Structure 1
Amino acid sequence: MVPNGWNISSIDSISDSVKVGFVGSCQKDYRDSGIPLIRTTNLKNGKLDLKNIIYVTNEFHIKNKKSQLKEYDLLIARHGNHGSACMVPKGFQDANCLNIVIVRPDLTKVAPEFMLDLFNYSLSKKLSSKAAGSTQTVVNTKEIASQVATVPPLSEQRKIAKILSTWDKAISTTERLIDNSKQQKKALMQQLLTGKKRLLDDSGKPFEGEWVEITLEKLAKYRRGSFPQPYGNPEWVDEVNGYPFIQVYDIDKNMKLKPDTKIKISDAAIGKSVFIPKETVIVSLQGSIGRVAITQYDAYVDRTVLLFQEFIVPMDKVFFAFIIQELFEIEKTKAPGGTIKTITKEVLSNFKVHIPSITEQQKIASVLINADQEIELLEQQLADLKQEKKALMQQLLTGKRRVKVDDKEVA
């Protein structure tokens, strides 16, 4: 049922044009500066992300007028995250685009911000599902132009967009707080885990005493898990009554395991696996190499995971998890392309760490855990805001909930 005063409109009928940007190779025109070239990678979460922007020559820009951008243009992903959209912000001048659909709203019929919300609320899902259900790898302009939506009068569109923008601002603010908190934590780790910054002890005085340099093999006893991938033998898997089986993709951020492991193994598999009690420090050795966790539950572990069984010297596990995390980050910077392909036992044995007294370790661990908890709290706030906006969009963009325009209730 169409809400009172709303119309069913195609994207084509409320747009000045729907066209695709430049398609083809233009690397010869790339420059370190010049005209920004927007690509699909720059369309992120409904916004234009210019962190990894590339530039082209002014000659390319002038030659390719069809793909020149104007403020308020909607940019729609043709491939990858099909149908996801962002808007060229006001004041953004002289830009071109590569292999992106450009929807130029008719400003007499539709508010660009409202149209953007429409795309990211429902139209992108329709376009994505169409692409997923066919052999094509891109969404074409005809499919986008033919999409229909229920559209209210322009004044109501603007009011809806204004309301939703309040949530957008809160989301953006929280995202910036998270980014700042992560940068602050990173800087804090670099200071605290090297002894450049010393904390206060229980008496209020700075910790004293030299830190000790020690190789990993003299610090702890460690090994890989020994059990091969369980899905190779159906008898080894028991998803109902089985025991948690940890693989590299079960290691989540902030040094934790994901709440539920994807695979649980049967009694028949136990003799072929390595058991680890909860609060064991583990590290991924494949995939996202160097991701660290302290296990929250008893489990069995795959051979792609390194586990620390015992510490030879007094060691706080949380502090140790942080220094191991930093060691792998340092190792990544040494690797070609910043990627570690494998970590051998010899490399591990030669890892060197600097450690303070156990009491200073515990203080450092406490500070860094608090920093993690602050980030987790902000991330939960962000998730809540996104969920609230999603629920509000479902109400406002379908007309189930009407807004006031010029202080008059719209029925």
Structure 2
Amino acid sequence: MSNPSSFDSPLNLPEGWHLSRLGNIGRFTKGSGITKADLVETGIPCVRYGELYTNHNYVIKRFHSFINEEVAATSKRIHKGDILFAGSGETAAEIGKCAAYLGNEEAYAGGDIIILRPEKADAAFLGYSLNHETINRQKAKLGQGYSVVHIYPELLKKIVIPLPPLPEQRKIAAILSTWDRAIELLGKQIATKQRLKKAFMQRLLTGKVRFPEFEEDWKEVHLGEILKSRNEKSPQSEQLQLYSLTIEEGVTPKTDRYDREALVKEETIKEYKIVHPYDIVYNPANLRWGAIGINTFDKSVLVSPIYEVLYLRDPKQYIVELIFAILSSPRQITKFSRFGEGTIYERISVKIKDFLSERIIIPRNYNEQHQIAAFLNRVNWEIGTLQEEQRLYRLQKRGLMQKLLTGEVRVRV
């Protein structure tokens, strides 16, 4: 076996730290079974490999899937201190994402999960360290496959990790978990605000609850009377930058994840659709999941040419923020879903002609439109403020991970 120090690593290790291959700090085993059909609403907790990408970050804090005793009997039990790796994934950049299990509850790991049972390192520390970018680069190089990427125990054993003394490992994990708790608390506050917003929207956007100064009846209109399709295109430039449309954040600057997933596709694209300020954008293929947004930036941006871009025909008659609130409401998204066309479920799309043929109800009175929009904008501002605070905490934590997990900054034990 080659010397771990010969492995690709930019680190100058501080005193007391050493490099170790994963195969030297614990034993590897594999999960087994647990298909989607095996799941029950309540029962014995389990982890499926896809949940390591979607639900578990660094540490497994709560379970999202359950099985019965019969399925558990043929599955692999996990124990406190185990590290669970996703053995399959869509990209090499994300392969092997992992989380530490620190609980005492009886639980099981499904197929395509690789389990490391460490004997010479702190599990919580490993949960953070094994998701650090320097380790992710090693996992990416070891991943095998293209359309589906795999990684195996024999490959994970080769990964080299910098390890401080055990007391320092525990202190680093405790510091990072403090940031995690703050991020999680903000997440709960955001979720509460979003539930309140949903309740407000259900009442205000249907006229069930109205501001007392307005009594005029609402009217029903075709979206085609309010909105018009925009099909302006341009290549990327310093003035027109490429943005993405996400279900969670709407029109937003591209993320690293978007860059990785879209890189190959974008090489063949010469021009993108222009989205001016307060234009509405939706993804025909994912509208049923809520993929609709509004450009609230004070500049025009570019989006994928597969998206539909719309603008307000008469800003003096309608408030675009209210129109968007109606279009993005759960009730309206459900109505759009019935227009879906296509034979493969994942490719069902909502065509622009069907979108614009939909009818909505809206206040006749412009001032009432404005007051509803202003109220919802205040709620959105409160949510956005919390989201920005959470984003800053994540940035701080990312900086801490870089310094603490490489030994650039030492902690007192």
Normalising by the smaller structure, the TM-score range is 0.7 to 0.9
The more displaced of 342-351 and 168-177 is 342-351
**Residue 6 of structure 2: aligned partner:** none
Asked if the contact 2:41–2:65 (Cα under 8 Å) also holds between the matched residues in 1, the reply is no
Q: Assess, with a 3 A threshold, how the Cα gap between structure 1 residues 169 and 380 changes in structure 2: closer, same or farther.
A: same
Distance 2:159 2:242 in 1: 44
Asked if the contact 1:316–1:361 (Cα under 8 Å) also holds between the matched residues in 2, the reply is yes
Q: Assess, with a 3 A threshold, how the Cα gap between structure 1 residues 128 and 254 changes in structure 2: closer, same or farther.
A: closer
Deviation (angstroms), 1:156: 1.6
Are 2:334 and 1:330 aligned? yes
Question: Percent of aligned pairs with the same residue?
Answer: 24
Distance 2:130 2:142 in 1: 15
**Residue 213 of structure 1: aligned partner:** 219
Q: Assess, with a 3 A threshold, how the Cα gap between structure 1 residues 246 and 308 changes in structure 2: closer, same or farther.
A: farther
**Residue 165 of structure 1: aligned partner:** 177
* 2:406 counterpart SS class: coil
Deviation (angstroms), 1:70: 0.9
Are 2:38 and 1:38 aligned? no
Structure ID, larger Rg: 1
**Residue 286 of structure 1: aligned partner:** 284
Give the number of equivalent residue pairs.
Answer: 370
**Residue 79 of structure 1: aligned partner:** 88
* 1:68 counterpart SS class: strand
Distance 1:190 1:88 in 2: 39
Are 2:167 and 1:155 aligned? yes
Distance 1:226 1:195 in 2: 33
Mapping of residues 35-114 of structure 1, within 5 Å: 35-43=44-52, 44-48=56-60, 52-55=64-67, 57-64=68-75, 67-80=76-89, 81-106=94-119, 109-114=120-125
**Residue 265 of structure 1: aligned partner:** none
Q: Deviations over 1:198-233 (max 9, x none)?
A: 34xxxxxx233043131225852x433356xx6xxx
**Residue 314 of structure 1: aligned partner:** 317
Asked if the contact 2:22–2:160 (Cα under 8 Å) also holds between the matched residues in 1, the reply is yes
The more displaced of 358-367 and 327-336 is 327-336
Q: Assess, with a 3 A threshold, how the Cα gap between structure 1 residues 49 and 335 changes in structure 2: closer, same or farther.
A: farther
| TM-score (ref. length: structure 1) | 0.76
Asked if the contact 1:280–1:308 (Cα under 8 Å) also holds between the matched residues in 2, the reply is yes
- Aligned-pair Cα RMSD in Å: 3.7
Asked if the contact 2:34–2:110 (Cα under 8 Å) also holds between the matched residues in 1, the reply is no
Distance 1:349 1:32 in 2: 40
Q: Assess, with a 3 A threshold, how the Cα gap between structure 1 residues 136 and 143 changes in structure 2: closer, same or farther.
A: farther
| TM-score (ref. length: structure 2) | 0.76
Asked if the contact 1:254–1:372 (Cα under 8 Å) also holds between the matched residues in 2, the reply is no
Q: Assess, with a 3 A threshold, how the Cα gap between structure 1 residues 335 and 346 changes in structure 2: closer, same or farther.
A: closer
Distance 2:274 2:109 in 1: 56
Asked if the contact 1:331–1:340 (Cα under 8 Å) also holds between the matched residues in 2, the reply is no
Are 2:380 and 1:372 aligned? yes
Q: Which ranges in structure 1 are unaligned for 5 or more consecutive residues?
A: 200-205, 231-236, 263-271, 406-411
Q: Assess, with a 3 A threshold, how the Cα gap between structure 1 residues 253 and 219 changes in structure 2: closer, same or farther.
A: farther
Distance 1:391 1:215 in 2: 51
Q: Assess, with a 3 A threshold, how the Cα gap between structure 1 residues 333 and 35 changes in structure 2: closer, same or farther.
A: farther
Tell me which of 10, 14, 18 is aligned to 1:3: 14
Q: Assess, with a 3 A threshold, how the Cα gap between structure 1 residues 132 and 186 changes in structure 2: closer, same or farther.
A: farther
Asked if the contact 1:251–1:284 (Cα under 8 Å) also holds between the matched residues in 2, the reply is no
Residue identity matched to 2:206: T
